[in-house]
Amino acid sequence: MRGKIAVEEHFVTPELKDTIFGSIGWKQEEWTAMADALQETGEVRLADMDAAGIEIAAVSLAAPCIQDIVDPAEATAKAADANDALADAVRAHPDRYVGLAALALQDPGAAAGELERCVNELGFRGALVNGYSSVGGLGTARYYDEEAYLPFWERVAALGVPFYLHPRNPLPTERRYYEGREALLGPTWAFTVETATHCQRMMVSGLFDRFPELQIVIGHMGELLPFAVERTEQRLSHIPSVTLERGPAEVLRENFFITTSGNFHTPSLLGAMLQVGADRILFAADYPFERTAEAAEWFDTVPISAADRRKIGRDNAARLLGIDIGAGVS
Ligand code: GRE
Ligand code: ZN
């Protein structure tokens, strides 16, 4: 399929390159190539997109970057710098890229202001944040279901832009889980568990009853949630202290979009389509951590209807990200 929009494609600035999680066991030359690819937003990246039939990439920082800068003022300043750099890259190729803002949620008030600046002044289409924010020390976590984040969510809802909750690793205090099995940290497993749990916290907090228009995007075919939320909702209904107008299964269908990033697996896609519907799924590769060609070869031939392929490959993202596209795509 030509004309795809891919929504979880990463970049990094030179000053943030050492804040990226280096997967355990990556070969040094592989990591060097990754760091180079992340910093390049010109011909190499565009050629990779062209070969895969991707017309537009929604570009965001890699992980954890801003979320791991424990001084809120420094995190806020570095997020603004990264957003300015991304705006330059988008300006150089305005028909190929749109921006998703990095936000220092270490300081929710400042983050709301930065999102507003990014949307209103830089033309960004939403935010992408790498899980919980650490404040004051690397072992700390602020999760976004806290009361203190309600004014931030109010601003997101008012701006009407999506918020991509991208993975990061769990806190060091939870590492007993992975001790001796460090290969399970990062994208192999820990990213998904951490992100799915963060989503469940937000769902159980009643955030989406309060702001029913909020739209959260999650990657990797929904971080297992399409296959888990019915059980969560059913069991929560037995806990009297939980009083939700809408439980996690309903919220996943109405307040979340899921993407195919890094999870090019047909039974998982078909299961996710049965659970949330084709209108709630978006194509993504996860460049450069995944091979765009592999993502596209899989997606272009996966056994779904032409109408669903077009929705997932392009139209849903265009609507969600406010991308003005013509109809002429085969
Ligand atoms: C990703 O986005 O998938 C990712 C990162 C950083 C390290 C590994 C990884 O952002 O897979
Ligand atoms: Zn990613």
List the residue whose alpha carbon is closest to atom 1 of ligand 1: 289
pLDDT of residue 30: 87
pLDDT of residue 23: 64
> Average model confidence (pLDDT) for the chain?
96
Report how far ligand 2's centroid is from the alpha carbon of 235 (Å): 31
List the residue whose alpha carbon is closest to atom 7 of ligand 1: 21
Q: Is the pLDDT of residue 205 over 50?
A: yes
pLDDT of residue 325: 82
Could you state, in order of their start, the residue ranges of all structural domains in the chain? 4-321
Q: Is the CB of 62 under 6 A from ligand 1?
A: yes
Q: Is the CB of 53 under 6 A from ligand 1?
A: no
- Whether 324 sits among the annotated catalytic residues: the reply is no
Question: Token digits for 328?
Answer: 């002429």
pTM given for the model: 0.97
Report how far ligand 2's centroid is from the alpha carbon of 236 (Å): 30
Long-range contacts of 302-306 (CB under 8 A, 24+ apart): 302/266, 302/269, 303/266, 304/269, 304/270, 304/273, 304/278
The active-site residue, picked from 48, 68, 107, 286, is: 286
Report which ligand 1 atom has the smallest distance to the Cα of 8.
2
Q: How far apart are CA 202 and CA 187, in angstroms?
A: 22
Q: Is the CB of 21 under 6 A from ligand 1?
A: yes
Considering the chain, what percentage of its residues have pLDDT values greater than 90?
Answer: 91
pLDDT of residue 118: 98
Top pLDDT among 323 and 327 is at 323
Report how far ligand 1's centroid is from the alpha carbon of 320 (Å): 23
Q: How far apart are CA 329 and CA 159, in angstroms?
A: 30
Report how far ligand 2's centroid is from the alpha carbon of 35 (Å): 14
Tokens 């690819």 found at = 37
Considering the chain, what percentage of its residues have pLDDT values greater than 70?
Answer: 98
Q: What is the pLDDT of residues 261-301, one digit of tens each?
A: 999 999 999 999 999 999 999 999 999 999 999 999 999 99
Tokens 């075919």 found at = 221
Report which ligand 1 atom has the smallest distance to the Cα of 186.
8
**Ligand 1 mutation target, pool 286, 290, 291, most atoms within 8 A of CB:** 286
What type of residue sits at position 262? G
pLDDT of residue 139: 87
Q: What is the pLDDT of residues 110-168, one digit of tens each?
A: 999 999 999 999 999 999 999 999 999 988 999 999 999 999 999 999 999 999 999 99
Q: Is the pLDDT of residue 105 over 90?
A: yes
List the residue whose alpha carbon is closest to atom 5 of ligand 1: 63
Q: What angle do CA 230, 185, 54 make, to 5 degrees?
A: 75
Report which ligand 1 atom has the smallest distance to the Cα of 262.
3
* Confidence at 327, pLDDT banded by 50, 70, 90: low
* Confidence at 330, pLDDT banded by 50, 70, 90: very low
- Between helix 150-159 and helix 108-120 the angle, nearest 10°, is 10
- CATH ID of 4-321, from 3.30.70.890, 3.40.50.620, 3.40.640.10, 3.20.20.140: 3.20.20.140
Q: Is the pLDDT of residue 24 over 80?
A: no
